[in-house]
A = this chain, B = another copy of it.
Amino acid sequence: MAKDDKRELLLQATLELVAKQGFHGAPCAAIAEHAGVAAGTIYRYFDNKDVLINELYLTLEQKITTALLEGYTLEMPFRERFLHLVKGVLKFFITSPLEFKYMEQFHHSPYGVAFRRDHMLGQTESGGSCSIYSELFTQGVAQQVIKDLPHVLLFDLAFGPIISVARNHILGFIQLDETLIEQIAEACWDSLKR
């Protein structure tokens, strides 16, 4: 068995259990069983449950950033870059329902609160994708192609609908296809453009 195999198994089991049943449905005993190891083994790979939960979250953040940066260059026209990011986030989430559900649960739990407290203080956010958006909005406002609003609001206008739409797709309330994704992204653009 490969060296960090059990570590991966535990992360995957946590992802699935939390995504499908929430944190309440993912006690250590269940995580271990689902990973095919004993409860005590968790503590050989992670200091405690909180560390496991947080490391998984960081892994997923990294996965999104990597996916978004694929085919993204600063040389692309502004509007095209915006649409690339918006559609990229939406497509990532609807093709990764477990990841979406996990991250959403995380955000609205004591873990998410603690995470923000610990990480959001350093304004620009460490290795995340925050700087991508910041750069984009700064340029868009300077070029007067998008509304002159605080970055936080621009972010909410652009990605608030995306999260909402992704959730409804994953919960089965709507079935998105390429055409609808295009229309949604255009609508987000309409809401930002000057």
**A188 vs B190: C-alpha distance when bound (angstroms):** 9
* Known pairs A152-B173, A157-B188, A188-B191 / 16 extra A-B pairs, C-beta < 8 Å: A116-B171, A147-B183, A149-B187, A150-B174, A152-B174, A153-B168, A153-B174, A153-B180, A153-B184, A155-B164, A156-B161, A159-B164, A160-B161, A160-B162, A160-B164, A161-B191
Residue A44 lies at the interface, judged by CB distance under 8 Å to chain B: no
- How often does this chain occur in the complex, in copies? 2
A59 to chain B, nearest CB (A): 21
Closest 7 CB pairs of A and B: A160-B164, A191-B191, A160-B161, A108-B108, A156-B164, A160-B160, A187-B191
Contacts of A171 in B (CB 8 A): 116
A100 to chain B, nearest CB (A): 12
**A81 vs B107: C-alpha distance when bound (angstroms):** 33
Residue A24 lies at the interface, judged by CB distance under 8 Å to chain B: yes
Residue A105 lies at the interface, judged by CB distance under 8 Å to chain B: yes
**A25 vs B174: C-alpha distance when bound (angstroms):** 35
A164 near B163 with CB under 8 A, answer yes
**A107 vs B105: C-alpha distance when bound (angstroms):** 10
A110 CB contact (under 8 Å) in B22, B150, B153: B22
